[in-house]
Structure 1
C-alpha cells in the first residue's frame, strides 16, 4: 500500500510541474514545436537555468509537503473504486506522513536533487536535438523501404 501511495503522489507532483517547462518564459504561452526553430535547445536551456531549477525545486518541495499531509482515506477509496476492489480500511485521520514517517525526508531530497536531475534532462534534450537530423534521415529511409499499404 505504501508503495502505491508514494508512486501516486510522486506522479501527481511531477505531472503538475510539467507545464512549467512547456511555456515560454516571456509570454507564458504554450510552446508549439513548429513555432520554434530549436525546441529542444530552448527547453534544455530552461532546464539548466539555476533560477528555474531553484523555483522548480521549491515548488515541488512545497507540493510534496502538502501531499504528505493529505488524508489517505479518500485517496484509498478512490483507488479501490478504480481497481474495482474494496479499499483497505484506513484511519480517516491518517496521512502519508503519519503512515510512513520516513517520507518526511522526501521534500528535502527533492529540493536537493532536482537541480542535478534537471541538468541531466537538459543535456539529454541537447543530445536529442543533435540526433534529430539522423533520426529524420532514418525515418525517411524506413518510409522508402517499408511496403506501402493499399
Structure 2
C-alpha cells in the first residue's frame, strides 16, 4: 500500500501543482516556453531548482497529511453507490492513518525523496531535449516509409 500511495503522490507532484509552477518566483506573469526549439529546458530547470523542490515537497507533505486523516466511510459509501456492489461497513472515524499505522511515515518520506525524484525527472527532460532532433529526423524518415497497414 505504501508503494501505491508514494506512486500516487509522485504523480500528483507532477500534475497537481502545475498552476503553482506556472509562474516565476520573481514575476506574476505566467511562464512561457521562451524557445520553441528547447521545450524541456524550462521544465528541467524548474524541476532541478532546490527552492521549487522544497516548496513542492512541503506542499505534497501537507496534502498527504490531509489524505491520511480523511475519513474513509464517505469514500466507501461513494464506492458503493458508483458500483452498486456491497462494500464493507467502515467506522465513521476510520482513516488511512488509523488503518495503516506505518503510513505515518509517508509524509516524511515524500518530503525527503521528492527532491531527488524531481532532480531525476529534470535530468530526463534535459536528455529528452537533447534527443529531440534525432527523434524528429527519425519521424520524418518513418513518414516516408511505405508500410502496409494490417
TM class by shorter-chain length? 0.7 to 0.9
How many residue pairs were aligned?
145
More divergent stretch after superposition (80-89 vs 95-104): 80-89
1:23-78 deviations in Å (ceiling 9; x for gaps): 142345364x6974422011000000000010000000011001110001112222
Matched-pair contact (CA < 8 Å) for 1:13–1:64: no
Query: Unaligned regions of 5+ residues in structure 2, if any?
Result: none
Query: Is contact 1:17–1:60 with CA below 8 Å preserved after alignment?
Result: no
Normalised to the residue count of structure 1, the TM-score between the two structures is 0.80
Label 1:38 to 1:27 Cα distance change in 2 as closer, same or farther (>3 A).
farther
Q: Is the 8 A contact 1:9 1:67 kept in 2?
A: no
Residue 141 of structure 1 deviates from its aligned partner by 0.9
CA gap of 1:38–1:104, structure 2 versus 1, over 3 A, is same
Q: Which has the higher helix share?
A: 1
1:60-139 paired onto structure 2 within 5 Å: 60-139=60-139
Structure 2 length as normaliser, TM-score?
A: 0.80
In the TM superposition, what is the alpha-carbon distance from 1:148 to its structure 2 partner? Answer: 8.6
CA shift digits 1:74-131 (9 cap, x unpaired) = 1222234444422221111101111111100000000000110010000000000001
CA distance in 2, matches of 1:8, 1:85: 27
Answer whether contact 2:47 2:118 (CA < 8 A) is retained: yes
Secondary structure of 1:138's counterpart equals helix
Q: Distance in 2 between matches of 1:8 and 1:80?
A: 25
Gaps of 5+ in 1: none
CA RMSD of aligned residues (A): 2.9
